[in-house]
Amino acid sequence: MEANKIKIIVVSGALERLQMAAMIASVGAVSGNEVRVFLSMNAMPFFVKGNQATPPPEGPFGELMAGKNVPPFRTLFQQAIDLGDAKVHPCSMAMDVMGVDSAALEPYLSEPLGLTKFLHDARDSQVWSF
């Protein structure tokens, strides 16, 4: 059976959206799917080295997660990479806007990509956006 390809675009800095994107990446990767994540815009600051800030919740469910034993989105993205065929790519344009280079980002992130390349590679994939 051929593995499915899952592409995830993450532009939100809201806790629930980052969490769901990470859950899909993790479950998808450990289920044998090829997973590629594209981080951009408001999601990017949460992947700068040393930034351990908790994203703001979008609604009451995000507030509920804070008091529960929910694996953090950063951990889930890392598990997707470690346990399956997953890569998490920072957006090159967002890096330029933020004034950061690859050395300033978390070491588990893959090479930066532009949106054009990411979408080209996504042509035969499921695409999710958060």
pLDDT given at position 67: 79
- Residue 116's nearest CA partner among 93, 98, 100 is 93
Question: Across the beta sheet with 34-39, what order do the strands follow?
Answer: 85-90, 34-39, 5-10, 126-129
Residue 81 belongs to domain with CATH number = 3.40.1260.10
- The mean of the pLDDT values for the chain is 95
Torsion angle defined by CA atoms of residues 76, 77, 82 and 87, in that order, rounded to the nearest 10 degrees: 160
- Provide the number of structural domains found in the chain: 1
pTM: 0.94
Per-residue H/E/C for 1-42: CCCCEEEEEECCCCHHHHHHHHHHHHHHHHCCCEEEEEECHH
Rounded Cα–Cα distance for residues 124 and 86 (Å): 16
Q: Which domain holds residue 108?
A: 5-129
| 63-99 residue pLDDT tens | 999 879 899 999 999 999 999 999 999 999 999 999 9
Kindly tell me if the per-residue pLDDT of 1 is higher than 50.
no
